[in-house]
Amino acid sequence: MNAPPPNDSAEPVRTEGVKYVAKNMRLDLRLIAEMIAPGSRVLDIGSGDGSLIGYLYRTRGCDARGIEIDMAEVTRSVAHGLPVMHGDADSDLAQYPDGAFDYVVLSRTLQAVERPREVLRQMLRIGTSAIVSFPNFGHWQVRWQLLRSGRMPMTSVWNRPWHETPNIHPCTIRDFFHLCADEGYVVEKWLAVDDAGQRSPWRRFSGLANLFGEQALFQLRRA
Amino acid sequence: MDQPDLAAVTHQHVAFDDGMALDCGMALGRLVVAYRTYGTLNASRSNAVLVCHALTGDQYVAETHPVTGKGGWWDMVVGPGLPVDTDRYFVICANVLGGCMGSTGPRSPRDGAAPGVLWGTDFPPVTIRDMVRAQKRLIDHLGIARLFAVIGGSMGGMQVLEWAASYPESVFAAVPVATAAYHSAQNIAFNEVGRQSLFADPDWRGGRYWESGSVPARGLAVARMVAHITYLSEQALTRKFGRRVRGGAAAGDLALFGDMFEVESYLRHQGSTFVRRFDANSYLTITRATDYFDLAAEHDGNLSAAFAGTRTRFCIISFSSDWLYPTAESRAVARALNRAAANVSFVEIASDKGHDAFLLDEPDFHRTLAGFLAGCAEHAGLPE
């Protein structure tokens, strides 16, 4: 929390000479990419179409690899020359040796894994840093909808009915700070962003971020 | 049967007169490796791709076969502009040790024996590792220090794994397809049925059929028929044949013998064509080699130890309907590689064609293979 905030100016991402950066790479992935030192070893859990690892390899010279549960995405990624393996956060992280990576990334997936606490432990076992993004269940719209209608909230972020959502472990930014404290993780950086991944101005105040941030992005390390 | 006799065809080869030591403790006094190449080796000798063939395959990957007259067994994969692009890569494929297309095997002259005497069933038992050693001799002979990639399916995939484990510095990228790190009891069981059908054929003559010029055709054909079933899937068989009966047979005819169902005649055809291009003792030798294969056992039971410290980039590919080398076996290899912190891609291709899918038109597989190789070429700094 005391770490200096990342670069404030929203720098345009350099794409010249880049062969494979998905044109619409999500902004939160760009924010994650900014946190990662060039030349480092990165594991992206839930790598999707591979745009983050492709970007990290081709613009930052990272040894970036992915794990993805959707086979069609895996096939597409490998067919683009990206090292991705079919697997999932809950069962495959345990296979990697300690300290195999400098960064382990889990973006927008923590709320959907079976054992989020164990997944975080594994991330910080196999990696020096964990970068985690998740949708914030503490956002004011979520709170307001539940209070007003008495029904499970439906927002642009939480947009599936309760019986169909894969998000089985939603949490708030405050919850996540508590979990990190319980587990003894050091929060090196954190920020709240809106759904498009734009940084919000409340990031210095966790209470405000918890109310107004739609997504949270954390960088953790072991104490 | 207007195709040349198996023994009458000569094959491009290299002979090593200093022979080679084998895992079984014996040594071959002379080693011949028959091989084919496609494409051009570049000046830095960095674009060589070794393709490893499966049990009944051979070195004729992408050209008309000199014995059968049919196209290459992987001519959808290897060639100009294809996933293993011969405009870009120099592709090598060698007939395996123990095979019958020119490399040293049971059909070769026996060490130290009178002219005309073959090894036959006295050919030493060979392992997948022995096959790979023989290939390494060829690669050294060709002056290639590091293969850009080693690729193979089924038994060829076992060789890929063995290459990566035995010569990690010589393999930049490895693509084991539809394979496993060991032969399961079920794999061994099917192989044993094939071997027993050979032994039961009176023409096998205790393995000395070659002395009289006979061929244990029935036994070899049955072995092939059983094996062929394991290469397919129930869906593929149903789709291709269903319960259709042959044209001449009326549905009411309840004949005990003869070609009744189309699937029967298909298998008989597979069996009979196989006999003309394969040697029975080679079949015994090679099936045994696959049964012996257990890469973890070569490393105190720890599969990831086989790949400790490896810098090879792996792409493990399985097929969803392959029950001979199921995806779970490929996943086990991928996880062992993860434990060794290796760079591994792992894809299961959706297909209903069973184990044979790796030889068939599977666009997702071909795209994956092409993309993986292109990505590796970028990492290896291979010119486009």
Span A38-58, pLDDT tens digits: 999 999 999 999 999 999 999
B contact residues 258-287, partner A, Cβ 8 Å cutoff: none
- pLDDT of residue B137 exceeding 80, the answer is yes
B238 touches chain A (CB under 8 A): no
State the average pLDDT for chain A. 87
Q: Which of A87, A92, A96 lies closest to B341 in CB terms?
A: A96
Contact A92 B376 (CB under 8 A): no
Gap from B382 CA to chain A (nearest CA, Å): 14
Band of residue A202 on the pLDDT scale cut at 50, 70, 90: low
Marked catalytic residue, from B85, B201, B291, B322: B322
B322 annotated active-site: yes
Tokens 């008309």, residue located: B64
Kindly report the average pLDDT of chain B as a whole number: 94
B104 has pLDDT over 80: yes
Confidence of residue B354 (pLDDT cuts 50, 70, 90): very high
Where do the H-state alpha helices sit in chain A?
27-35, 51-60, 71-79, 89-92, 116-126, 140-149, 173-183, 206-212
Q: Which of chain A's residues have a Cβ under 8 Å away from the Cβ of B367? A: 75, 79
Domain with CATH 3.40.50.1820 in chain B: 6-186+294-380
Say yes or no for a CB contact (<8 Å) between A78 and B368: yes
Would you say how long chain B is, in residues? 384
Could you give the ipTM of this predicted complex? Answer: 0.90
Cβ-Cβ pairs closer than 8 A, A with B, add up to 69
How confident is the model at residue A14, as a pLDDT?
Answer: 38
Known binding positions of B: 224, 356
pLDDT at residue A200, as a whole number: 63
User: Which among A51, A50, A46 is positioned nearest to A77, based on CA atoms?
Assistant: A50
**Could you give the CA distance from residue B7 to residue B363 in angstroms, rounded to a whole number?**
37
Fold of B6-186+294-380: Rossmann fold (3.40.50)
List of chain A residues whose C-beta atoms are within 8 Å of the C-beta of residue B315: 78
Q: Which of B313, B338, B343 is the closest to A95 by Cβ?
A: B338
Residues B353-376: what's their mean pLDDT? 97
Mean pLDDT of B252-280: 85
**Pick the catalytic residue: B46, B103, B108, B154?**
B154
Q: How far apart are the C-alpha atoms of A76 and B10, rounded to whole Å?
A: 43
Closest CA to B280 of B205, B383, B336: B205
Q: Taking CA atoms, what residue in B is nearest to A62?
A: B379
Candidate from A75, A81, A96 with C-beta closest to B375: A81
Angle between helices A27-35 and A51-60 (to 10 degrees): 40
Rounded to the nearest angstrom, the minimum Cα separation between A126 and chain B is 10
- Name the token pair of B80: 């100009």
Selected for mutation to probe chain B from A59, A76, A95, A126 (highest B CB count within 10 Å) is: A95
The model's confidence at residue B256, banded by pLDDT at 50, 70 and 90, is low
For strands B90-94 and B31-38, give the pairing.
Answer: antiparallel
User: Mean pLDDT over residues B337-358, rounded?
Assistant: 97
Residue A136 — pLDDT band, cuts 50, 70, 90? Answer: very high
DSSP H or E segment with residue B334 = helix B327-339
Task: State the span(s) of chain B assigned CATH 1.10.1740.110.
Answer: 188-286
Could you give the maximum distance between any two Cα atoms of chain B, in Å? 69
Beta strands B13-16 and B31-38, pairing class: antiparallel
Rounded distance between C-alpha atoms, residue B140 and residue B150, angstroms: 15
pLDDT of the residue at A21: 43
Contact B32, B98 (CB under 8 A): no
pLDDT above 80: residue A6: no
Give pLDDT, residue B253.
64
* Superfamily in which the A27-135+176-199+217-222 domain is placed by CATH: Vaccinia Virus protein VP39 (3.40.50.150)
Within 10 Å of residue A34's Cβ, how many Cβ atoms? 13
d(CA B91, CA B151): 10
| Whole-angstrom distance, CA of residue A51 vs CA of residue A68 | 12
Q: What integer pLDDT is reported at residue B248 of this predicted model?
A: 63
Inter-chain CB proximity A83 and B343 less than 8 Å: yes
Domain covering B188-286: architecture:
Orthogonal Bundle (1.10)
pLDDT for residue A207: 87
Is B328 in CB contact (< 8 Å) with chain A?
no
Residue B69 has pLDDT above 80, yes or no: yes
For CA atoms B197, B289, B339, B327, the dihedral sign is negative
B368 touches chain A (CB under 8 A): yes
Query: CA A125 to CA A222: how far, in whole Å?
Result: 9
**From the CA of A132, how many Å to the nearest CA of chain B?**
21
Residue B241 CA: distances (Å) to CA of A184, B258, B267, B304: 63, 17, 11, 42
CB contact, 8 Å: B313 with chain A? yes
**8-state DSSP, A196:** T
pLDDT digits (tens, 9 = 90+) for B3-46: 667 777 899 999 999 999 999 999 999 999 999 999 999 999 99
Binding-site entries of B for substrate = 224, 356
**Interchain CB contact of B125 with A (< 8 Å):** no
d(C-alpha A23, C-alpha A84), whole Å: 20
Low-confidence winner among A165-169, A195-199, B371-375 (lowest mean pLDDT): A195-199
Instruction: Report the alpha-carbon distance of residue B76 to residue B84 in Å, rounded.
Output: 9
Please judge whether B347 and A75 are an interchain contact, meaning their C-beta atoms are less than 8 angstroms apart. yes
* pLDDT (0 to 100) of residue B254: 67
Q: Is the pLDDT confidence value at A9 over 70?
A: no
Q: Are residues B319 and B348 in contact, defined by beta-carbon separation less than 8 angstroms?
A: yes
Residue of A nearest to B378 (CA): A81
| Known catalytic residue at B154 | yes
Residues in B touching A85 (Cβ below 8 Å): 316, 334, 338, 344-347
Where is pLDDT greater, at A156 or B102? Answer: B102
**pLDDT confidence band for B250 (50 / 70 / 90):** low
Task: Extract the tokens encoding A8.
Answer: 């404030």
On whether any CB of chain A is under 8 Å from the CB of B311, the answer is no
> Is residue B330 a contact partner of residue B179, using CB atoms and an 8 Å limit?
yes
> How large a percentage of chain B has pLDDT more than 90?
91
The answer to whether A185 touches A221, Cβ cutoff 8 Å, is yes
Q: Do A71 and B315 touch (CB under 8 A)?
A: no
Domain edges within chain A: 27-135+176-199+217-222
